[in-house]
A = this chain, B = another copy of it.
């Protein structure tokens, strides 16, 4: 058994589910012979053929809408957005059609929408964004965002098996940068469960996606440098988010830093902070603090993007501020 990358884990998750259930299929731009812009579906057409690894016209709204229709017919489409940024072109189908069909008509529309997202690749404003907050606030959608290969595979499997619409945010920066040995047997990561990525008692960083790794590293440094142990809670699922685990760790650490790669204002961190404030107010020794991207579109040129992103340095600085409050 050898280690596989985050990207390969996504592919394995899809492949195994497609073997298990013939109703599962993939559709998107260039997913077939080409294997997708990031090669996530590479080789899959060889095993499953063009009917189940289906290239589509450049029509994000139709990709989602057709996916809904196929789901009504009992299929389980995995719709790929070439970049998460383009999900805005299918926005209406997601938030009004897909999100509501079951609630308003009792019609199930199981589907996964894959969104390669995130920055740090010099993609500029339209190839680097993290659009999950728009969906996080939309009733009827589930939202997941794995940070490790293990979770990428396990959450993909859960998403495919889920009878609802699951927005799957995969972080492009992590694709080939992290590797892990995965269990040989079938496993899933349940949607809605956070994971304690690092234990600690002086504070907790609640985060997901790429900043999970930065946070763990920062906490390691803080442990060495200052002797403080800070926990890292990897949400993994954003909607529903794991209220139980959040409150437990908050109540035992009493100091909370929320870190996310998308912009600060109106981000998911706001909701988490409000939730923690409402439900664990008496336990807080300091205000819930947040570190996030700046409130501008993702800039292109390296010095700007570095300035924009919630880098390790910024996480560390904010953590020190929190600990010294």
Contacts and interface: CB of A to CB of B under 8 A. Distances in A.
Given A96-B126, A266-B268, A281-B286, A296 B139 contact: yes
A95 interface: yes
A100 interface: yes
A51 B109 CA distance: 44
Contacts of A275: 270
How many of these chains are in the complex?
Answer: 2
Contacts of A100: 125, 297
A288 interface: yes
B277 A266 contact: no
Interface in A250-306: 263, 265-275, 277-279, 281, 284, 286-290, 295-297
Most chain B CB atoms below 10 A, which of A100, A266, A284: A266
Interface string A212-229: 000000000000000000
B137 A297 contact: no
A290 to B, nearest CB: 7
A140 interface: yes
Contacts of A273: 270, 273-274, 277-278
Contact of A297 (B104, B125, B279): B104
A134 interface: yes
A315 to B, nearest CB: 16
A99 B278 CA distance: 33
Interface of A: 85, 88-89, 91-92, 95-96, 99-100, 103-104, 125-126, 133-134, 136-140, 239, 263, 265-275, 277-279, 281, 284, 286-290, 295-297
21 contacts: A88-B92, A88-B95, A91-B91, A91-B92, A96-B125, A96-B126, A138-B266, A139-B297, A140-B297, A239-B265, A266-B268, A270-B273, A270-B274, A273-B278, A274-B274, A274-B288, A277-B287, A278-B288, A278-B290, A279-B287, A281-B284
